């Protein structure tokens, strides 16, 4: 079991009750700027903003590779979950992702909505990949095959 799978498993065990998310976002109240950036292992992670709705928040994260165009890194596959540390309990689930070979955008649904003041709210991304998010196992056939 890799770290992302372990994160999913522990998150599942720690959930005493299944979080309930509202059926509707509710009216859009505003945009809450966050603009927190961290650089780790050649990638820049930025929490840009949260779309504040009546019933929940949608937090946006941008991840960009620092590699040059000459470096072939393949595809970015973010097995990450947003964690929120505050005096109020927040439930989080991934609500969207899009990207290219050099950058990706993630969206996380947060319930209840984040407070307007984020002075005492901490954010982090932790390894997390539900089994259905993991790529299928592969067996690469790459040997010369001679027929009689």
Per-residue pLDDT of 103-137, as tens digits, reads 999 999 999 999 999 999 999 999 887 666 556 56
d(CA 55, CA 18): 17
According to the model, what pLDDT value does residue 22 have? 74
- Please give the tally of structural domains in the chain: 1
d(CA 7, CA 133): 13
pLDDT-derived band at 102, boundaries 50, 70, 90? confident
Per-residue pLDDT of 6-23, as tens digits, reads 665 665 665 555 666 777
According to the model, what pLDDT value does residue 67 have? 77
Do residues 65 and 85 touch, judged by C-beta distance below 8 A? no
According to the model, what pLDDT value does residue 18 have? 60
d(CA 124, CA 144): 47
Instruction: List the CATH number of the domain containing 116.
Output: 2.60.40
The answer as to whether 115 is a domain residue is yes
CA distances from 115 to 57, 88, 125, 139 (A): 9, 9, 19, 48
The answer as to whether 148 is a domain residue is no
What range does the domain containing 33 cover?
3-133
Per-residue pLDDT of 40-87, as tens digits, reads 998 999 999 999 999 999 999 999 988 766 666 677 788 899 999 999
The answer as to whether 139 is a domain residue is no
Say which residues have a Cβ less than 8 Å from residue 125's Cβ, sequence separation at least 6: 45, 61, 80, 81, 82, 83
The answer as to whether 147 is a domain residue is no
According to the model, what pLDDT value does residue 2 have? 66
pTM: 0.75
């Amino acid at each position: 079991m890799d770290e992302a799978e372990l994160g999913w498993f522990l998150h599942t065990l720690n959930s005493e009750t299944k979080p309930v998310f509202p059926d509707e976002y509710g009216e859009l109240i505003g945009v809450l700027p966050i603009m927190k950036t961290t650089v780790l292992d050649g990638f820049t992670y930025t929490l840009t903003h949260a779309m504040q709705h009546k019933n929940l928040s949608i937090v946006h994260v941008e991840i960009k590779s620092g590699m040059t165009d000459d470096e072939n890194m393949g595809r970015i596959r973010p097995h990450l979950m947003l964690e929120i540390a505050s005096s109020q309990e927040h439930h989080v689930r991934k609500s969207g992702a899009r990207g290219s070979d050099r950058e990706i955008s993630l969206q996380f649904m947060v319930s209840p909505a984040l407070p307007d003041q984020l002075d005492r709210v901490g954010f982090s991304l932790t390894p997390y990949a539900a089994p259905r998010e993991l790529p299928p196992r592969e067996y690469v056939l790459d040997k010369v095959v001679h027929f009689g």
